[in-house]
Structure 1
Amino acid sequence: MNSTFLCGRFELGFERPLIMGIVNITPDSFSDGSHHFSTNAAIDHALGLVEQGADILDIGGESTRPGSEPVSIQEELNRVIPVIEGLRNCGVPLSIDTFKPEVMKAALQSGVDLINDIYALRQPGALEVVSEFPHCGICIMHMHGEPKTMQVNPPDYGNNITREVAAFLRDRMKIMLQSGIDPRRIMIDPGFGFGKTAAQNFQLLREMADLNELKAPILVGVSRKTMIGAVTHKPVNDRLSGSIAAALAGVARGAVVVRVHDVAQTHDALAVWNAVEFGVNE
């Protein structure tokens, strides 16, 4: 893996795992939908996450939970662009969680540093947009199907879920590199919960170290997800402990970014993990 990740205005190192704080500007996200739906509320929430230790802010204007309904390009822009403009000088990289090329371009023009795309640049025009902005980071994710129906009937991967995910991400990376994208701009996400059963998610997490062969930074997003509820039997807003355990399992297997709702608690858990692994600076 490259020693630095090119992320718009920033160059990120991974001497320690980084925390990506989730900023949902949606009425229907699975965990915190409508909590920060206004521009001012979203900006205040995001600034609070930075104070708690977020290293990156991931801004999203369209829910991609299972069964979610799509929103129009204009509606998504109306939600995210004022928030991006309000956070542009907050001191940490800004990520836009979108798969729409039009939203990607407008967000990059407004100051976003990272494109976080659940479709891995498969939408027509997406690859061309990120090629126009040679410094932005790009996170590509594995997903089977589309958000509205992906969990209706996930495919039977047998025991090959990790191999399938690795092959998909390898192919997408190859296409990006052939298009002239600097490998230092590419991050990968296994896509926990996106067209996968709970058993498949946990197998993928267990075997996630195999993805290190792709030589790209790995982002893990497991916060409050159904896979956590499947083993803890807790409702979505009572999954903090399970989410932290899963995030640490991912970090232990090579993840360098964890995407979370609960930044302060995850920050403390990672501080202890780092002290165990690397010692304490006194």
Structure 2
Amino acid sequence: GIVNITPDSFSGDGLFKKENKLSKLLDFAERNNISNLDIGCASSKPGYENVSTQEELNRLNYFLSNVNGNFSLSIDTSNPIVAELALKNNFKILNDINGFQDEELITKAIEYQCNVIIVHRHPESKHLHEKMNFRNNVKEVLEHLEQKVTQLIDKGINKQNIFIDPGLGFGKFEQDSVDLLMNIKDLVDEIPVVVGYSRKKFIQKTEMNNKEIFEHCINSGVAFVRLHLTN
């Protein structure tokens, strides 16, 4: 379940300083046996503005002060200082949409022996939403992810702690994201796959409803599907 502790998000569900709404969302997750929550404290929508480390920490502390229930938590951040605060507070997964380009972030993952989600980012992209061209989108994304997995293992991260995410909607044209989603089984092998398509524009091109896309992912062997919670 996706929980955005921001005043803004691409899906309009930011929960920063909205205690009642956050409480209802967490209650909804508990009632529906949604035990894994991915907490993001900085927006990654197109045209987003970077927030300061202190602001991202403030938002995470806000969540920590208001969380209830017995959840397994992941932190969606590229900031090693924010990651450390989360990991010190029993977060078990570090999810980096920038594909672990920051050496200090890798060091934190090794120090806390947490699980990591490597989100695909084209190695030549200058920023997160720069649209990159692919000759063979599925093959190249898989190759990029395999290279990153090897790099992280070489640096000291346990292979059993690694998940991969094709980064649908990040640095890709809509058709590339559609192709990756429709062929997601081609990414499924030894490393568990995480997929996040919820509320992204490109899913309209799949001509499938949310239930059909979810079932397609599960039937393809995807380990986790990241979804926005609806109460």
Give your verdict on TM over 0.5: yes
**TM-score by structure 1 length?**
0.74
Q: 1:162 to 1:47 in 2, by over 3 A?
A: same
SS of equivalent residue, structure 2 residue 202: helix
Q: Percent identity?
A: 33
Partner deviation per Cα, 1:107-142 (whole Å, 9 max, x = no partner): 1112211111111211231111111102x1111100
Q: Which runs of 5+ in 1 are unaligned?
A: 1-20, 233-240, 265-282
Runs (4 or more) in structure 1 with deviation over 6 Å come to none
Which residue is equivalent to 1:242? Answer: 209
Alignment map for 1:153-164 (pairs within 5 Å): 154-158=131-135, 160-164=136-140
Which residue is equivalent to 2:59? Answer: 79
Which residue is equivalent to 1:211? Answer: 187
Is residue 2:92 matched to residue 1:113? yes
Q: 1:43 to 1:100 in 2, by over 3 A?
A: farther
Which residue is equivalent to 1:259? Answer: 226
Which residue is equivalent to 2:117? Answer: 139
**TM-score by structure 2 length?**
0.89
The one of 136, 145, 148 equivalent to 1:169 is 145
Q: 1:242 to 1:70 in 2, by over 3 A?
A: farther
* Structure 2: distance between partners of 1:198 and 1:80: 31
Which residue is equivalent to 1:180? Answer: 156
Cα pair 1:24 1:42 within 8 Å, conserved: no
User: What is the CA RMSD across the aligned residues, in angstroms?
Assistant: 2.0
Q: 1:130 to 1:174 in 2, by over 3 A?
A: same
Aligned residues: 227
Alignment map for 1:1-282 (pairs within 5 Å): 21-34=1-14, 36-38=15-17, 40=19, 41-87=21-67, 90-134=69-113, 136-144=114-122, 145=125, 146-147=127-128, 149-150=129-130, 154-158=131-135, 160-213=136-189, 215-230=190-205, 242-262=209-229
Q: Which runs of 5+ in 2 are unaligned?
A: none
* Structure 2: distance between partners of 1:219 and 1:53: 19
